[in-house]
Each structure stands twice: as C-alpha cells, then as structure tokens.
Amino acid sequence: MKEKYYITTPIYYPSGNWHIGHCYTTVICDCIARYQKMLGKDVFFLTGTDEHGQKIEKKAAEKGVTPIEFVNPLIDDIKSIWNALDISYDKFIRTTDDYHIKAVQKIFKTLYDKGEIYKSEYEGWYCTPCESFWTDSQLKDGKCPDCGRPVSKEKEESYFFRLSKYADRLIKYYEENPEFLQPKSRVNEMINNFLKPGLQDLCVSRTSIKWGIPVTFDEKHTIYVWIDALTNYITALGYGSEDDSLFKKYWPADLHLMGKEIVRFHSIIWPAILMALDIPLPKKVYGHGWLLIGGDKLSKSKEDKIKFELTDPKQLVNRYGSDALRYFLLREIPFGSDGVYTNENLIGRINSDLANDLGNLVSRTIAMINKYFGGIIPEREKETSFDKDLISVAEGVYDKYVAAMDALNAPDALSEVFKLVSRANKYIDETMPWALSKDESKISELKTVMYNLSECIRIAAIYLKPFMTKCPNIILSALSLNGEDYSDFSSVKKFGGLKSGVKVNTIPPLFPRLDLKTEEKEIEDFLKKEKESKMESQVKPEVKLHDHSDKPVIDIEDFAKVQLKVAQVIACEKVEKSKKLLKLTVKLGEEQRTVVSGIAHAYSPEYLVGKKLVMVANLKPVKLCGIESQGMIICAENDKGELSFVSPERDIEDGSQIF
Ligand code: MSP
C-alpha cells in the first residue's frame, strides 16, 4: 500500500483582493504535493475558504447583500485563480458547507461535554480584521499586534475553551517533537511570547456576531471563527460525519503550511483543541515568510506602495504564464524568510533563469540536433573529456534535490536543478559542437555531446515537474517523450536513460526574453487605466439612479424622508481622471457643501457657476474618486441620455426647502 501524505493550505478569507502574496502558500503546497506524488505517495491536498465572521458580515452589509450572496462569487473567483495557476488540490472545503457546519457543532458539543469548554463572561480587545481577541499586555501601542489596526473593547457572555491548561503540555510537545513546528525560529517565538508568559482561556463564542456557526445547545452564541476555521482540516476528511474513512486514512496531516502571522493559531490553539479531543497532532506545522513590497507585507490596502507593481495573480498569469509565476514564487523567496516582490525581480528571474539558462539550453540543443543529425537524437559514441563532470553533476542532483524538498526548501531544490542546466550550457561552450561538426573525425564525439545534452534536458524537465506544470511537458515533447511515464524520479537518478534514434520536435521559445523597460511602461499604463476605470465605476451608485423603469408606488411618508433643497453653485471644476464627474461647491443658505455629480458630459463647469439647482440634501455621503459627495443634484434625463438639471421656477433663496 502507498504511504499517505496529507497536506493543507490555510483556508482563505474571501476578500476578493487577491494578490500574488496570497498565491505563495498555495503554490508551495502544490509543489510539495506534486513532489510527494512523484515519490510515490498517496497524496491528499486540501484547500478552501474561511467564510464566516464579523469581517464578512460587515462587508456584506456595506454592499447591501446577505453574507452568502457576498461570498459566493468570490469562491468562484479564488477557484479560478487556483485554476490559472494549475493548483492540483484534491478537495476544496467551504466553511459554509453543510457537512462542515454540522461537524463543527458536534466538536463544540463534545468539548463542552468533556468540560473543555465552559460558559463565562468575556471582556477584551477585539481586532475585527484579524478576528482575534487580545489582552492588554498583548496589544502593541494599544493596537492589534498582528496588523497594527485599532482594536475595540468587547464585553459579553461567552463560552471559553480551557486553553490555559495546555501551555505546559505544548512546551513539552515541542521539545519532544522538534520536527513539529518549523522553522526553528517560530518555536522560540511561540514559547517566549505566548506559552511561557502563560496562556489564557480562549473565548470561543460570540453573541454579537450572527454570521457563523450557531452553538447547538445555546443558539444565541456563534462559534468563534478560528475554531470553525481550524477544524476544517479534519471536517474536510469527514471527521464528525457518517463517513470518516478519509479521516481514518489521511489524518494526522503531514504538513500544515501557512504564513508566519497565523502560526500561533496552528501551533497553539489547534494542537490544544486536538489534545482536548484526543486526536493525534499534525506531523508538521510550517510558517513561511511573507512576500514584501516596499518593505511591507503585500496587501491591497496599501495601494499607494504598489502603484506600479502588477500584483493581481490572474493578470500576472495572463502576461507571463503560470509557469513563470510559479517559478518566481518558488525560487526567489528564501524559504522560511521574507522575500521582496517587484515586477523587476519577476522579469529578472524570467529572463535570466528561464529564458537564458533553461530556454537557451533547450533551443540550442534541439537546433543542433536538427542541424547536425537531421533531427534524430544520436547514440553516444566517443566520450569527450568533459563528460565525466557533466554526468556526475546530473547524477548528483537527486540526493540534494530530495534533501531540499524534504526540508520543504523549494528554492534550494530548484537551484540544484539549475546547476545542472548551467553545467550543460557550459558543456556546450567546452565541447564546441560547431567546431566538432566541421571535423569528420570528431563526429562520434559530436554524437555523444548531442546525446548528453538531450539527456540533461530530459533530467532537468523531470525534476522541474513539481515546480512548473507546462514547460517540463513541452521540453519532453521536444524530445518526443510525451508518451513516457515520468510520474516518478526513477529514470533520472542514473544518467543515460534517454532513448536515442528518436526524432526531436522543434518548439517555440519556452520563455521569450522580456524587455524590462517595455514591460514596466506597459504595466504602468495598464495600472493607470485600471485605476481610472475603477474610479469611473465608483460613480455607479449615482448612475444606477438613472433608472427609467417604473418604480413602485410609495407612501407620502416614504417621500417625506427625502429632503430636497435649493442649492446655488458657487464653484465648479472637473474631477481629475474622470470623464463623467464634476465637483460642485454649493451654498444652501448658511451652509456650504461639496457635491460630485456625473454631469460633465452635459454641462461645462463655467456654465453651472451661479445656477440654482434642486438637490437631495439628506443623502448619506459617498466617496467618488476620493472626494466626499454630500448630496445629489436632481436632473431630468430623456431616452437619448440628454440631461437637464432642475431649477426653481422663479428666483428663490438658496437653502429653501422643496416639498
Ligand atoms: N483565513 C485565515 C486562515 C485560516 S486557516 C484555518 C487566513 N486567510 S488569508 O486569506 O488571510 O491568508 C491565506 C494565506 O495567504 C496565509 O498563509 C497567509 O499567510 C498567506 N498570505 C497572505 N498574504 C501574504 C503575503 N504577502 N506573503 C505571503 N503569504 C501571505 O489567514
């Protein structure tokens, strides 16, 4: 029977603001999953989405939709990103899935029945974006220690998990299982910052949050979102359901991989829950570093810093292909540490490693076989004095590659493969096939050189399979090897497995060289345009009101809610970067207001100054193109889209009420 390997990514918040940093955990997991499969293991790779909690509740309310209506399209969105990146997950769990909800409720009840959960009152600091409670001493300058955002004091009846009693057991577990939490630096961080100062019992239910899983025996309580989220790793396998065969087969997880900011949840809270449930702990929890931009964790909320860096995963895949993006993520960031993301770094890697080193080696080899041997891979004949070293480099890859991959060190494993690629390129310079071809007596050496080069690219392609999903197969098809079963590493440990006498196929350049300046210019233009169109689309709330369809009959009370006033325009200008918007400064008696209105196509700013208009004065302010609009100008619009603002029939003081 095959050995099993269960690997998980964290489940993602459906924020919709996905960036390349989010792809990091999932791409590494995918690479490790593919590698473990090639080692012959029965791999189960889990990913999914973390859909409950206050953050989602709030965002949905802002949009005027229900939480599930808010998250549903975002789940399709993230799945399409994983698809674009060729992520080979076996299961996608949503915390809104029925089976998960039922299992979480069961787990909560079991913990309560065992006395691991009890009812009390909570008072503490809560960070909404991180869904985390903090004590006074944990706050950093009065703010959330994880994200630096403001926290609020919350007090309510809550259920508590007896986390405090697990501190010593956890320290002991770390000591006895040095492989459990990695890299080592995270162990010290957890022990010194959390376990040694002593753990407090964890508040695991809220009454003020409705969007979540209700406690079955006390329905006004909603289960704390991290308890709901962490248990996904077992509920996805059927734990707590009628069919737990996957749980029996794959648990304990071989690897939970995540970014360093959520290691605390995975290495303290999660193991304590498992201990409380008498379930074995995962074999390894690994907290990787972050992808940084301008010295900060990549985040869409820091838009200014990423002005001209393209960070949208789908755009990046469209532009450079999934292989290039996967390669960059797996090669550039020293594993366990932070790495810097810039378009320049990405383009640099594509040009130097993929286009120059790998791409050139493949295209030169195929071109020379075509030129010297009519496209047929020759048999090795006479040895050259450079063969031994080349072969020993090729045969030396396996042990170092496997050691690096087993340590989850993808960059080092890739570097071993690229040492072979570089060695093969150097072999071309050393053997000078073009010179050999001119000397009849050297043809048997030329044959050996061509065979050895083809064998090197075959070996490199097979080692690259966990990292890139397209280019290895293209390389193998260039050597007419696409029919071969290269699903493991057995054919690459020893040099010489390549069949000769086979016809090569000419392929287009694997990774065309990119011109940095052109790329930067195009990216800048693209991002500017995108920003402009985003601003334009913010105008939509007002545009939506120009709905010519019949509206329902309303009561006089409904109409009375709308406060209309006469406003005089005292200044007006175009809104920069918008074709539709004008910014009007209007006077309503004593009061002055700013109104942003989508009427630039109908009126020039000069024409409007001095005019008296009708405006909705009690409309909730909205930001349009970064300007707060404190009201709305009333206009008439015909079917052709022609506009006319509405004015009082005779001159009347601004600020006058309209009823
Ligand atoms: N929902 C929680 C996880 C619950 S698991 C029981 C969560 N979700 S997340 O969407 O915010 O993050 C998902 C993964 O993306 C995490 O591993 C996180 O570290 C990773 N990244 C998000 N931004 C990142 C970078 N800028 N760089 C590297 N990885 C980062 O946390």
Is residue 126 in contact with ligand 1, taking CB distance under 6 Å?
Answer: no
Question: What is residue 545's predicted lDDT score, i.e. its pLDDT?
Answer: 43
Residue whose C-alpha is closest to residue 3's, from 44, 32, 31, 45: 44
C-beta separation of 22 from 66 below 8 A: no
Strands 612-616 and 564-574: antiparallel
Q: What separation in Å is there between the alpha carbon of 142 and the centre of ligand 1? A: 24
Residue 292, in any domain of the structure: no
d(CA 284, CA 299): 27
Do 481 and 458 lie in one domain? The reply is: yes
Do 355 and 416 lie in one domain? The reply is: yes
CATH number at residue 480: 1.10.730.10
Residue 598, in any domain of the structure: yes
Is residue 335 in contact with ligand 1, taking CB distance under 6 Å?
Answer: no
The number of the ligand 1 atom at minimal distance from the alpha carbon of 270 is 6
Q: Whose CA is nearest to atom 10 of ligand 1?
A: 12
Do 380 and 391 lie in one domain? The reply is: yes
Do 531 and 556 lie in one domain? The reply is: no
CATH number at residue 641: 2.40.50.140
Residue 60, in any domain of the structure: no
Q: What separation in Å is there between the alpha carbon of 10 and the centre of ligand 1? A: 7
Question: What is residue 295's predicted lDDT score, i.e. its pLDDT?
Answer: 56
Residue whose C-alpha is closest to residue 462's, from 488, 427, 494: 488
Is residue 258 in contact with ligand 1, taking CB distance under 6 Å?
Answer: yes
**pLDDT tens for residues 633-645?**
999 987 777 889 9
The number of the ligand 1 atom at minimal distance from the alpha carbon of 297 is 26
Do 512 and 599 lie in one domain? The reply is: no
**pLDDT tens for residues 522-531?**
998 988 888 8
**Domain that residue 567 falls in:** 540-658
The number of the ligand 1 atom at minimal distance from the alpha carbon of 292 is 26
d(CA 449, CA 648): 91
Residue 588, in any domain of the structure: yes
Tokens linked to 540: 């939509």
d(CA 386, CA 428): 10
Q: Which of 518, 537, 556 is the last residue of a domain?
A: 537
d(CA 146, CA 135): 13
Is residue 93 in contact with ligand 1, taking CB distance under 6 Å?
Answer: no
d(CA 646, CA 631): 15
Tokens linked to 385: 């004095």
Q: Is the pLDDT of residue 542 over 50?
A: no
Task: State how many domains the chain has.
Answer: 2
Question: What is residue 332's predicted lDDT score, i.e. its pLDDT?
Answer: 93
Is residue 298 in contact with ligand 1, taking CB distance under 6 Å?
Answer: yes
Helices and strands of the chain, counted as H and E runs: 24, 25
d(CA 648, CA 582): 21
Question: What is residue 391's predicted lDDT score, i.e. its pLDDT?
Answer: 98
Question: What is residue 549's predicted lDDT score, i.e. its pLDDT?
Answer: 52
Q: Whose CA is nearest to atom 25 of ligand 1?
A: 21
Question: What is residue 538's predicted lDDT score, i.e. its pLDDT?
Answer: 60
Q: Is the pLDDT of residue 22 over 60?
A: yes
Do 476 and 573 lie in one domain? The reply is: no
Do 510 and 560 lie in one domain? The reply is: no
Do 473 and 548 lie in one domain? The reply is: no
**pLDDT tens for residues 223-262?**
999 999 999 999 999 999 999 999 999 999 999 999 999 9
pLDDT greater at residue 16 or residue 172: 172
**pLDDT tens for residues 27-42?**
999 999 999 999 999 9
User: 266-304 burial, b if ≥16 CB within 10 A, otherwise e?
Assistant: bbbbbbbbbbbbebebbebbbbbbbbbbeeebbbeeeee
Across the range 73-94, mean pLDDT stands at 97
Sign of the four-CA dihedral 593, 596, 598, 604: positive
Q: What separation in Å is there between the alpha carbon of 264 and the centre of ligand 1? A: 13
Is residue 246 in contact with ligand 1, taking CB distance under 6 Å?
Answer: no
C-beta separation of 50 from 93 below 8 A: no
415: number of Cβ within 10 Å:
15
Is residue 12 in contact with ligand 1, taking CB distance under 6 Å?
Answer: yes
Do 654 and 510 lie in one domain? The reply is: no
pLDDT greater at residue 164 or residue 555: 164
Residue 155, in any domain of the structure: no
Q: Which of 537, 557, 574 is the last residue of a domain?
A: 537
Q: Whose CA is nearest to atom 19 of ligand 1?
A: 259
Q: Is the pLDDT of residue 540 over 50?
A: no
**pLDDT tens for residues 173-188?**
999 999 999 999 999 9
Is residue 24 in contact with ligand 1, taking CB distance under 6 Å?
Answer: yes
Mean pLDDT of the chain: 92
Do 512 and 532 lie in one domain? The reply is: yes
Q: Phi, psi (5° rounding) for residue 473?
A: -70, -35
Q: What separation in Å is there between the alpha carbon of 25 and the centre of ligand 1? A: 7
pLDDT category, 371, cuts 50, 70, 90? very high
Strands 291-293 and 339-340: parallel
Residue whose C-alpha is closest to residue 459's, from 395, 510, 406, 506: 395
**pLDDT tens for residues 290-322?**
999 765 555 545 545 455 789 999 999 999 999
Residue 185, in any domain of the structure: no
Is residue 306 in contact with ligand 1, taking CB distance under 6 Å?
Answer: no
Q: What separation in Å is there between the alpha carbon of 476 and the centre of ligand 1? A: 35
**pLDDT tens for residues 482-514?**
889 999 999 999 999 999 999 999 999 999 999
Label residue 233 exposed, middle or buried (CB < 10 Å: 0-12, 13-18, 19+): buried
Is residue 291 in contact with ligand 1, taking CB distance under 6 Å?
Answer: yes
Q: What separation in Å is there between the alpha carbon of 131 and the centre of ligand 1? A: 13
Q: Is the pLDDT of residue 63 over 90?
A: no
d(CA 656, CA 568): 11
Residue 51, in any domain of the structure: no
Q: What separation in Å is there between the alpha carbon of 349 and the centre of ligand 1? A: 24
d(CA 110, CA 273): 11
Do 403 and 504 lie in one domain? The reply is: yes
Q: Whose CA is nearest to atom 21 of ligand 1?
A: 22
Pocket test for ligand 1, best of 17, 22, 127 (most atoms within 8 A of CB): 22
**pLDDT tens for residues 426-466?**
999 999 999 999 999 999 999 999 999 999 999 999 999 99
Contacts of 202 (CB under 8 A, 6+ apart): 133, 160, 161, 163, 224, 269
d(CA 514, CA 628): 42
Pocket test for ligand 1, best of 8, 9, 12 (most atoms within 8 A of CB): 12
pLDDT category, 541, cuts 50, 70, 90? very low
Do 484 and 632 lie in one domain? The reply is: no
Q: Which of 479, 508, 537 is the last residue of a domain?
A: 537
Residue 41, in any domain of the structure: no
Q: What separation in Å is there between the alpha carbon of 18 and the centre of ligand 1? A: 10
- Output the pTM of the full model: 0.80
pLDDT category, 67, cuts 50, 70, 90? very high
